[in-house]
């Protein structure tokens, strides 16, 4: 299973499909074939592995796969059916598929007399697939909210300037995380005030291979010469303020991980609506004072209503501190 997980990591980190790996074993334990999913529209991991076997080579074999074989027809056919037709005798998977359309593969396999075992290395693989699993369960993208602030919680100085609060190591970490997201979201206020490019770049300023779709939420128009209009991917402008509807729209476009960059009003609205799954807080060892808070009103009026978080981990990035937290 760990080898299948290694294979899964070869797949694209973004897009509507999960990264899945598969290893096919002979009854003796010998590895017969390996496969992984290379992106939307390509063979799924199980079918990729089966394609590398000689005719009839799967009969009596065991398929070890990181995610329960799918049970639906999309751009490709059901993996459960492919395994049945190939003559696989046993299937071992790590994580059950929570998708409304794609789940049920294990039951289909069992109904055809195949021995099925689920839950092997479930925690490890669930962590690897965390974003995709959350999106599949919720029917919306996994939402990461990021902000950078001074130790006293300010996102900008009194005059509105914010470049740069954090150091180069923290900024590069942000770009790396942007590159692993499907979309990057800002409000029109941030788009107009900061004129961000919303790209993911390396330390030298060159574009990284993975670029998130730029998304702007709000009703104000964005100038034709705005930096984000030169983004490698065409920007998406969503005028509505119904955040659940916005996320549903993005999910329908194949967005499974959305990265919110701000500003404070948009960030606060997502928090108040209970739509944030992960917080990335970059803290710089500096004080700014003033009223430009990183987060504004989130609907908490008393201490009993505080939104408690669990700190997943924290890192030193140069002089700065990154805190990664999730709602309890």
pLDDT tens, 179-200? 999 999 999 988 998 899 999 9
pLDDT exceeds 90 at position 1: yes
The verdict on whether residue 36 carries a ligand-binding annotation is no
Q: Spell 109-137 as b/e; 16+ CB within 10 A means b.
A: beeeebebeeebbeeebeebbebbbbbbe
What is the overall mean pLDDT for the chain? 92
3 state SS of 64: strand
Q: Is 40 annotated as a binding residue?
A: no
| Cβ 120 vs Cβ 92: under 8 Å | yes
Annotated binding-site residue? 269: yes
Most trustworthy range by pLDDT among 88-92, 158-162, 252-256: 88-92
Residue 74 pLDDT > 80? no
Does pLDDT of 231 surpass 80? yes
Among residues 327, 101, 142, the alpha carbon closest in space to that of 251 is found at 142
- The answer on whether 266 is annotated among ligand-binding residues is yes
The whole-model pTM stands at: 0.84
* The pLDDT value given to residue 193: 86
Q: Is 46 a catalytic residue?
A: yes
Tens digits of residue pLDDT in 23-48: 999 988 999 999 999 988 889 999 99
Alpha carbon distance 298, 104 (integer Å) = 39
pLDDT reading at 262 higher than 80: no
How is the chain split into domains, by residue range?
A: 1-136, 140-327
Is position 197 annotated in a ligand binding site?
Answer: no
Contacts of 128 (CB under 8 A, 6+ apart): 5, 8, 9, 19, 66
| CATH superfamily of the domain spanning 1-136 | Cytidine Deaminase, domain 2 (3.40.140.10)
Instruction: List the structure tokens of 168.
Output: 């180069």
Q: Which CATH code for domain 140-327? A: 3.40.430.10
Residue 12 is assigned to a ligand binding site:
no
**According to the model, what pLDDT value does residue 115 have?**
97
| CATH topology match: 1-136 vs 140-327 | no
164 is an annotated ligand-binding site residue: yes
Query: Once rounded to an integer, what is the mean pLDDT over residues 317-328?
Result: 95
- CB-hemisphere CA count at 13 Å for 112? 17
Tell me what pLDDT residue 145 has.
96
Instruction: Name the DSSP letter for residue 206.
Output: P
Query: How far is the C-alpha of 259 from the C-alpha of 270, rounded, in Å?
Result: 12
Question: Does pLDDT of 75 surpass 90?
Answer: no
Q: What percent of the chain has pLDDT over 70?
A: 100
Q: How confident is the model at residue 147 (pLDDT cuts 50, 70, 90)?
A: very high
Active site residue: 46, 101, 122, 124, which one?
A: 46
Q: Quick check: 5 pLDDT over 80?
A: yes
**pLDDT confidence band for 105 (50 / 70 / 90):** very high
The three state secondary structure string of 3-33 is HHHHHHCCCCCCCCCCCCEEEEECCCCCEEE
The reply, when asked if residue 178 is annotated as ligand binding, is yes
DSSP letter assigned to residue 167: -
265 annotated ligand-binding residue: yes
Q: Is 90 annotated as a binding residue?
A: no
Q: Check residue 244 and give its pLDDT.
A: 94
With 80 as the cut, is the pLDDT of residue 232 above it?
A: yes
User: Distance between CA atoms of 205 and 182, rounded to whole angstroms?
Assistant: 20
- What is the edge-to-edge ordering of all strands in the sheet holding 278-284? 236-238, 213-217, 183-187, 257-262, 142-150, 278-284, 320-327, 309-317
């Amino acid at each position: 299973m760990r080898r299948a997980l290694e294979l899964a990591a070869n797949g694209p980190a973004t897009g509507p499909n999960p990264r899945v790996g598969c290893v096919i074993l002979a009854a003796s334990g010998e590895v017969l074939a390996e496969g992984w999913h290379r992106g939307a529209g390509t063979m799924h991991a199980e079918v990729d592995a089966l394609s590398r076997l000689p005719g009839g080579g799967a009969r009596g074999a065991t398929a070890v796969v990181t995610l329960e074989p799918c049970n639906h027809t999309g751009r490709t056919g059901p993996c459960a059916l492919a395994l049945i037709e190939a003559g696989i005798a046993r299937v071992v998977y790590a994580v059950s598929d929570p998708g409304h359309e794609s789940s049920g593969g294990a039951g289909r396999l069992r109904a055809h007399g195949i021995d099925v075992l689920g839950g092997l290395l479930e925690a490890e693989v669930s962590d690897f697939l965390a974003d995709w699993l959350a999106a599949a369960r919720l029917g919306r993208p996994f939402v990461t909210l990021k902000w950078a602030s001074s130790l006293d919680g300010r996102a900008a100085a009194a005059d509105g300037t914010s470049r740069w609060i954090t150091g180069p190591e923290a900024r590069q970490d942000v770009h790396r995380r942007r590159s692993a997201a499907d979309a990057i979201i800002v409000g029109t206020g941030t788009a107009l005030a900061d004129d961000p490019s919303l790209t993911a770049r390396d330390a030298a300023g060159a574009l990284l291979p993975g670029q998130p779709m730029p998304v702007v939420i709000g009703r104000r128009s964005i100038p034709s010469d705005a930096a984000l209009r030169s983004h490698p991917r065409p920007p998406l402008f969503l005028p509505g303020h119904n955040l659940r509807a916005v996320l549903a729209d993005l999910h329908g476009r194949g967005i499974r991980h959305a990265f919110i960059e701000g500003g404070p009003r948009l960030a606060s609205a997502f928090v108040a609506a209970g739509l944030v799954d992960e917080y990335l807080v970059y803290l710089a060892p500096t004080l700014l004072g003033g009223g430009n808070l990183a987060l504004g009103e989130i609907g908490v009026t008393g201490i009993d209503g505080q939104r408690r978080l669990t700190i997943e981990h924290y890192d030193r990035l140069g002089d700065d501190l990154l805190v990664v937290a999730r709602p309890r």
